[in-house]
Chain A
Amino acid sequence: QSLLTQPPSASGTPGQTVTIACSGGSSNIGSYSVSWYSHVPGRAPKLLIYGNDQRPSGVPARFSGSKSAPSASLAISSLQSDDEADYYCSTWDDDLNAWVFGGGTRVTVL
């Protein structure tokens, strides 16, 4: 049971916007910045968002992050078939003294 709660699945048709929520608490999202990662099984995970809403170089603007403590969210706009992956939120947790990940959300493009 992860300290960060994500829905197990989300889906949309090409062109739609999918939003993934990540719910935490005062010891994690309430106090620290949130990162988001995508992962296609068999490949390296990829950083999509850091610092709650910052995109690394090379990540399309279709991916956006926001935070309203103790929750955060990732939005994927103009959904494409290549966006099918597992998406994870992450941050530091003071109670565990550890980095923590959400349980992951599998995004399916219908």
Chain B
Amino acid sequence: QVHLVESGGGVVQPGRSLRVSCAASGFIFRDNAMHWVRQAPGKGLEWVAMISFDGSDKSYGASVKGRFTVSRDNLRDTLSLQMNDLGPDDSAVYFCARGSRDDLWALDVWGQGTLVTVSS
């Protein structure tokens, strides 16, 4: 069974850093692009970042570009998101999601998310 499990969320002060991770199982991790999507309290889904299957291509949403870095370890089947210079607007549930191999624009498996709260 395909599973994505996020971890690493918590409360962090403004301006500080935090790293969240996603453990994948039940599929060949190195075959799929992976994404991070977030949902701020009371808001909708916002795409954050994408990394290609081999890590050679990365892209970011405008609100996080230059502050967040996505990476993956295809030996450990793990996806990570390094978040620097965090602000209150970064408070959200962060979901990892698998890029579909049937449709480049679809995300076909999602985790349950990890909550990041930026507060002093």
Contacts and interface: CB of A to CB of B under 8 A. Distances in A.
B44 A35 contact: no
B47 interface: yes
The 5 closest A-B pairs by CB, nearest first: A50-B106, A99-B47, A104-B44, A35-B106, A50-B103
Interface stretch (A9-17, A18-26, A36-44, A77-85): A36-44
The number of chain A residues touching the other chain, given as a range, is 20 to 34
Contacts of A54: 102-103
The number of chain B residues touching the other chain, given as a range, is 20 to 34
A41 B38 CA distance: 13
Contacts of A102: 44
Given A43-B112, A44-B113, A98-B61, A51 B44 contact: no
Chain A binding surface SS class = strand
A47 B106 CA distance: 8
Interface string A55-91: 0100000000000000000000000000000101011
Contact of A45 (B61, B62, B102, B110): B110
A92 to B, nearest CB: 5
A46 B44 contact: no
Contact of B107 (A2, A47, A98): A47
Interface string B102-120: 1111111111110000000
Contacts of B110: 44-47
Contacts of A101: 37, 44-47
A32 B103 CA distance: 10
Given A44-B111, A104-B45, A99 B102 contact: no
B95 interface: yes
